[in-house]
Structure 1
Amino acid sequence: MTNSAEPPVRRRRPRARAVLAVLTVLVLLCWAANSSRLHGPGEGRPTTLAHRGLGQTFDLAGIENDTCTAERIHPPEHAYLENTIAGMRAAFDAGADVVELDVHITRDDRFAVFHDWEVDCRTDGRGTTRDHTMAELRRLDIGYGYTADDGATHPFRGTGAGLMPSLDEVFAEFPDEELLIHVKSDDPAEGELLAEHLARLPGDRLAAVTVYGGDAPIAALRRELPGLRTMSKATLRDCLVRYAAVGWSGYVPAACAGTQLHVPEKIGPWLWGWPHLFVSRMAEAGTRVVLVGGSGDWSAGFDGPQDLERVPEGFTGTVWTNRADVVAPLVAERGR
């Protein structure tokens, strides 16, 4: 007996083609809605974030969490040390829009502006930063440990006594400038204490302050000062994961509002609307987008003219740099 019925596959082909056509149209519409090439750059100019103000740079090759970076600096091209009033002023004078600085709680509940968990690497002192009072830290020579030639010479030894500032001194010296404070611990009590300090600032001053750091202190800080712009790994992850799911539609999740995003240059191209639409969408949500170098490890920045060639043309977010003296004028020129 002969079966004259057509094979099921043939009956389904027109439907499969229709589904494929619809999917193709949807993909094209999604691409068009998120194409920075079609929409062009947003309004405004790029800005510059000076990492630790202006300080000595160092070789990132093979660096680990416990590497003493002061012992591997490049031959000095200027006289400034990181996290100092002079280094911050030099960065702002060069044209930086924001200066990043590191803080540690002290034994007397002050906040010292210093990068390292321990003072042994950079200074002539010993022990954990938080086990010293602010007065004790101020007496240390913060230029003591720097060397560019494996210890043969120490070009800043003897020049750094009294240069470690407190956070209060930074606010007094820079009453109007944009500051990004980095909480170096993961202690929630440090976030609570920092909230107490920041709550004393006038509202317009606090609006020019952003804080980032460990998940626990930032969560504590957000509870005490919910209107403050903050960022941690948790807030960054929450925003980007949610945006990856719905950003194709142009919708910005609430997790992305009023925060800061440090976006590695290798990750940026995978974000919906990168770069122009993404930056514009986040700006409308009150969020600053900071482009950092490479994969985002070890505070890699855009530190010279050749690095800036990797920054997307027309980018209007913020560029992270360790050489504000070189890069800030070049970034400002891009916006003209």
Structure 2
Amino acid sequence: MRKRNIILLLVVTAAGAVYLNNTSLLSDRAAGKPVVLAHRGLAQEYDRTGLTKDTCTAERMLPPRHDYLENTVRSMDAAFRRGADVLELDVHPTTDGKFAVFHDWTVDCRTEGNGETRSHSMADLKKLDVGYGYTADGGKTYPFRGQGVGLMPSLDEVMERFPDRRFHINVKSNDAKEGEALAAFLSALPRERQAALTIVGGDRPLQAVKAALPDMRTLSKKSLTRCLLRYAGLGWSGYVPEDCRGTTLGVPINFAPWLWGWPDRFLDRMESAGTNVYLFGPYHGGGFSDGIDDPAIIETLPAGYSGGISTDALELVMPALERRSN
């Protein structure tokens, strides 16, 4: 009986120690506002039912609430003016040594052109109309046709236009050579500019970026999975695994409460390890979850939450954040 009581006491003591090491009640982290990551700037919403990687989303646009087109400088400028702290953009290499800022693997969906985006020169891509393919009524009308000519920017244009802003640069392939080319571009930027960037994509290009620029923040599905699994096993102690250091994490909002120390202790640990944290929408299986696009979800954020959130619907989410802060 005495031995059993000793074991029980040890278990209770250990559980209490784990609780104290992870409860946010004892954190001195100051309350703040979320850091807002706008996915592709201000973009047109589309019906996500039955989406595949080959779905032309411009053909299933929802009735537009604004006239901004994703991944354009005009859209980015509007997103920053509306309160975004960070922007995500997509890049493809071009035949003339540039990086085009454009989401799709081919230009067939959104423009009047055809072929893989990377098979064109930046000069030729500048001639295309990035608003050409958008329709909300099955092709009866195309409200942005003619308005997007010349609006596909290059990555160097974006960096020059927004020299002090933070970006997530999404590499759309899993090609190591593309990572090497992007690393060469990034290497020419000042170190303080590099520090404001996160490179997102497949493991191969990200490994190439890391090999050339070890301090660059990166995020891939595999690196995120490795970090979260190892933190799940070791985070109770306050230890931050190497896979979680000096990086960026995208955490589904329905997964976050299960993280050791969530929210404040977890955010403090990641911040001290040089890692940025962004909440995404609920995860339901598959790849990355969507952004937090429903204003009602904003009300479920922890009180005083000062980590990041990612959204595809900035114009809906910002008013909810403003109401929350008042």
Q: TM-score, normalised by structure 2?
A: 0.94
Q: Counterparts of 2:54 and 2:20 in 1: how far apart (Å)?
A: 46
Question: What runs of 5+ residues in structure 1 fail to find an aligned partner?
Answer: 1-12
Distance 1:299 1:156, change over 3 A: farther
Which residue type is aligned with residue 291 of structure 2? G
Deviates more, 1:21-30 or 1:102-111: 21-30
Q: Any idea what SS the aligned residue of 1:237 has?
A: helix
Distance 1:270 1:99, change over 3 A: same
Query: Does structure 1 retain, via aligned residues, the 8 Å contact 2:31–2:303?
Result: no
Query: Once the 2 structures are TM-superposed, how far is the Cα of residue 299 of structure 1 from its aligned partner?
Result: 5.1
Q: Any idea what SS the aligned residue of 1:50 has?
A: strand
* Fraction of identical pairs, as percent: 52
Query: Does structure 2 retain, via aligned residues, the 8 Å contact 1:45–1:332?
Result: no
Q: Any idea what SS the aligned residue of 2:309 has?
A: strand
Aligned match of 1:287? 275
Offset from partner CA, 1:240-298 (integer Å, 9 cap, x none): 22211211011112221110000011211121011221111101111100000011756
* Pair 1:123-2:111 in alignment: yes
Distance 1:293 1:41, change over 3 A: farther
Query: Once the 2 structures are TM-superposed, how far is the Cα of residue 58 of structure 1 from its aligned partner?
Result: 1.5
Structure 2 residue corresponding to 1:224, chosen from 212, 220, 223: 212
Aligned match of 1:313? 303
Q: Counterparts of 2:264 and 2:56 in 1: how far apart (Å)?
A: 38
Question: What runs of 5+ residues in structure 2 fail to find an aligned partner?
Answer: none
Query: Once the 2 structures are TM-superposed, how far is the Cα of residue 16 of structure 1 from its aligned partner?
Result: 3.0
- Kindly report which structure 2 residues correspond to 1:248-259, keeping only aligned pairs within 5 A, or say none: 248-259=236-247
Aligned match of 1:322? 312
- Kindly report which structure 2 residues correspond to 1:18-33, keeping only aligned pairs within 5 A, or say none: 18-33=6-21
Q: Any idea what SS the aligned residue of 2:198 has?
A: strand
Offset from partner CA, 1:207-229 (integer Å, 9 cap, x none): 21111111000000000011111
Query: Once the 2 structures are TM-superposed, how far is the Cα of residue 87 of structure 1 from its aligned partner?
Result: 0.4
- Kindly report which structure 2 residues correspond to 1:158-169, keeping only aligned pairs within 5 A, or say none: 158-169=146-157
Deviates more, 1:150-159 or 1:87-96: 150-159
Q: From the CA coordinates, give the structure whose radius of gyration is larger.
A: 1
Aligned match of 2:134? 146
Offset from partner CA, 1:84-114 (integer Å, 9 cap, x none): 0000000000010001100011122210000
How many residues are paired up? Answer: 324
Deviates more, 1:217-226 or 1:205-214: 205-214
Structure 1 residue corresponding to 2:253, chosen from 249, 261, 265: 265
Q: Counterparts of 1:50 and 1:116 in 2: how far apart (Å)?
A: 18
Query: Once the 2 structures are TM-superposed, how far is the Cα of residue 73 of structure 1 from its aligned partner?
Result: 1.6
Q: TM-score, normalised by structure 1?
A: 0.91
Offset from partner CA, 1:9-47 (integer Å, 9 cap, x none): xxxx44234323321331232123212245375454311
Q: Any idea what SS the aligned residue of 1:15 has?
A: helix
Aligned match of 1:233? 221
Distance 1:283 1:242, change over 3 A: same
Deviates more, 1:81-90 or 1:224-233: 224-233
Query: Does structure 1 retain, via aligned residues, the 8 Å contact 2:283–2:289?
Result: no
Aligned match of 1:302? 292
Q: Counterparts of 2:102 and 2:159 in 1: how far apart (Å)?
A: 15
Query: Once the 2 structures are TM-superposed, how far is the Cα of residue 335 of structure 1 from its aligned partner?
Result: 5.3
Offset from partner CA, 1:288-333 (integer Å, 9 cap, x none): 0000001175652222422312322222111111122332354356
Q: CA RMSD in A?
A: 1.8
Which residue type is aligned with residue 324 of structure 1? L
Q: Counterparts of 2:325 and 2:216 in 1: how far apart (Å)?
A: 28
Query: Does structure 2 retain, via aligned residues, the 8 Å contact 1:102–1:183?
Result: yes
Query: Does structure 2 retain, via aligned residues, the 8 Å contact 1:124–1:140?
Result: yes
- Kindly report which structure 2 residues correspond to 1:73-222, keeping only aligned pairs within 5 A, or say none: 73-222=61-210
